[in-house]
Structure 1
Amino acid sequence: MYKQMQVVRRMEMAADSLYKAKLIRGFCHLAIGQEAVSVGLEHGIHPNDRVITAYRCHPFAVLRGGTITGVLAELLGRKTGMSSGKGGSMHIFTPTFFGGNGIVGAQVPVGTGVAFAQKYMDERHATFAMYGDGASNQGQVFEAFNMAKLWNLPTIFICENNKYGMGTSAARSSSNTEYFTRGDTIPGVQVNGMDIIASLQAVRFARRWAVDEQKGPLLLEFVTYRYGGHSMSDPGTTYRTREEVQRMRSTQDPIRGLQRYIEEWGVATEQELKYLDKAAKAEVDKAVEEAKAGSEPEPEDLWTDIYFKGSEPGVMRGREREEVSLDLF
């Protein structure tokens, strides 16, 4: 877990540098500071469980079967990216990770639908539908709560409460900031999302609840913190103080927290952890160079990835591709 946390943080730091070098453009939301949630979740679930989220999806994509190179290449708009360079920061997927979605809160009912399919097909797996405190007031989130409880679906709703929805603090947008209590008849648990052991245990408990004991949905609130702004266009210092960010970095950092556990429990020495740090850095540095070396999509790639392979229609409706001037794009 320690190395994975280092890897996903360094990957996000690399994305930050590439963006500032103007090699990555457009929307880019980083999860630096929230590593205990993604890594803790992955170690608490089954490989065939499903995960869906909105922004800050890069770590989940890697942990759910993707690659660092694939994620960074996607951010760079390369053909070798996990979505062929067409999706960008918010649209990255694997067979068990349903994204990365760009519409605030819209992934929650989709995740509930995935859980419905799991129950309908009698699969003994769960879906973890993740959203932020900024999306918690969306009507479709509450609609998903209702349907999941009504049909007793194996849905684990996870609110990543990182204290700010864009530049608005939770207290300014929500009358009830105890998000784990907002599921109506769905039980909720509040978790220290800066502590990976707490995150891991909470996810294991939730999966037992929904899958092994078949008690239906559960709502987890991970109280966490993002060190950077909402996106790369947000410095993150106009609505909170630099002192606040520094205090969280120095007292609540999830990687340092796990390091203390490891050393106190005698699992590894400081030197062994430094070796893992260097290995993580080397892995990410190599991935950066591989991603940068990838080619950009060709104009004809505009017509690919529209349909699932094998489901393409025999006849194109509307204008034929020969009638469309590529000079327009």
Structure 2
Amino acid sequence: MNFPNLPQSELLRLYESLTRIRLFEERIVERYHEQEMKTPVHLCLGQEAVAVGVCSRLAREDYIFSTHRSHGHCIAKGMPLRLIAAELYGRESGCAGGRGGSMHLVAPDWGIPGSTAIVGGSIPLAAGAALSAKMQNNGRIAVAFFGDGASEEGSFHESLNFAALHALPLIFVCENNFYATNSPFKARQPECGIAAKGAGYGIPSVTADGNNLGTVYQVAGEAIERARSGGGPSLLEFETYRWKGHVGPACDFEAGCRPKDELERWLERCPHRLYRDGLLGSGQVSCADLDAIERNLRHEIDDAFDFARASAWPDPATLLEHVC
């Protein structure tokens, strides 16, 4: 593993963020069968290192634009778990008042203008935010998260061109998990890869291991520093893999959507286990340190879900509020 040479406090901060996402989504899996969460959920289990490696290098005021698979990005950016859990349960105390659900998380105070269920929809929104930041010269940057399927949308190429033309402070982050719903990558695109598409617009582009948190942290940091210093956009393609089906808490190999042995190979490359093993191997932390973090996070998640379930339902009289 490309283990980052960082102070102990930063190493533990990354572990806490990585573990918070993992435990929160595992709790969703545990509770979803109770049918109290009416929203569809698209889980990022297995992909957490990308969210943590990128968002840990951002300032709070920087913008991220996420996708239907948004939990990890928003948690890594600092969004409180209570706001997310309450939204999943459709409660008034949720980040969108119980109206948006899992795919439409929003937290402007944490630099999250919103996530979108439209494939590729995050990309031009991030380009607009980056243009605004450049025009205001406020030092902010924008990040567009998207999957490999979104790289087949016209908005992807249009935004690459626009960002390159105007040298926008924008990071394109492709989480290439090799599937668009149930369609494998090789059945949809030639072997040249997604990063090569950025190079065609003169944008610095790289393909990297998205399950190696140290690699993501380094690659993202370089791109963010370049954008913040006026060097323009970057395209980062991180190869990773989602453990669950496209939507919902279940695996999909039993339905023939993916080969079981493929999933098993990626399970061996668990980003959380790789980072934990690397931490312990570095000698900078102990099992007791990491176990204490996990205990505290379980209490935080207990609190978030208890808060959500105890919160009030939205008042039907407010149904049309915020509707244009």
Larger Rg, first or second structure (1 or 2): 1
Determine if the alignment matches structure 1 residue 207 to structure 2 residue 224: yes
For 2:265, the equivalent position in structure 1 comes to 247
Per-residue CA distance 1:264-314 (angstroms, 9 max, x = gap): 11121122212222222222122111111111111112132347xxxxxxx
Task: Give the residue type in structure 1 aligned to 2:170.
Answer: T
Which protein, 1 or 2, shows the higher relative CO under an 8 Å CA cutoff with sep ≥ 6? 2
Does the CA contact (< 8 Å) of 2:164 and 2:233 recur in 1? yes
Q: Give the match's secondary structure for 1:220.
A: strand
Out of 291, 298, 306, the position equivalent to 1:289 is 306
Out of 222, 231, 242, the position equivalent to 2:238 is 222
Distance 1:233 1:18, change over 3 A: closer
Q: TM-score, normalised by structure 1?
A: 0.89
Per-residue CA distance 1:106-129 (angstroms, 9 max, x = gap): 221111011000111112221111
Distance in 2 between residues matched to 1:248 and 1:235, nearest whole Å? 13
Task: Give the residue type in structure 2 aligned to 1:41.
Answer: V
Does the CA contact (< 8 Å) of 2:56 and 2:77 recur in 1? no
Correspondence 1:9-48 to 2 at 5 A? 9-48=22-61
For 2:278, the equivalent position in structure 1 comes to 261
Q: TM-score, normalised by structure 2?
A: 0.90
Task: Give the residue type in structure 2 aligned to 1:141.
Answer: F
Does the CA contact (< 8 Å) of 1:60 and 1:97 recur in 2? no
Q: Give the match's secondary structure for 1:262.
A: helix
Task: Select between 294-303 and 74-83 the one with higher mean Cα deviation.
Answer: 294-303
Distance in 1 between residues matched to 2:264 and 2:305, nearest whole Å? 28
Q: Unaligned 5+ residue runs, structure 2?
A: 1-13
Distance 1:278 1:55, change over 3 A: same
Deviation at 1:177, TM superposition (A): 5.2
Task: Give the residue type in structure 2 aligned to 1:106.
Answer: G
Out of 60, 67, 88, the position equivalent to 2:80 is 67
For 2:91, the equivalent position in structure 1 comes to 78
Determine if the alignment matches structure 1 residue 181 to structure 2 residue 196: yes
RMSD, matched Cα: 1.5
For 1:90, the equivalent position in structure 2 comes to 103
Paired-residue identity, % = 30
Out of 126, 145, 148, the position equivalent to 2:141 is 126
Following superposition, which runs of at least 4 residues in structure 1 exceed 4 angstroms of deviation? none
Counting matched residue pairs gives 305
Does the CA contact (< 8 Å) of 1:53 and 1:98 recur in 2? no
Does the CA contact (< 8 Å) of 1:167 and 1:236 recur in 2? no
Out of 59, 68, 86, the position equivalent to 1:55 is 68
Deviation at 1:233, TM superposition (A): 7.5
Distance in 1 between residues matched to 2:224 and 2:102, nearest whole Å? 28
Distance in 2 between residues matched to 1:286 and 1:48, nearest whole Å? 26
Q: Unaligned 5+ residue runs, structure 1?
A: 308-329
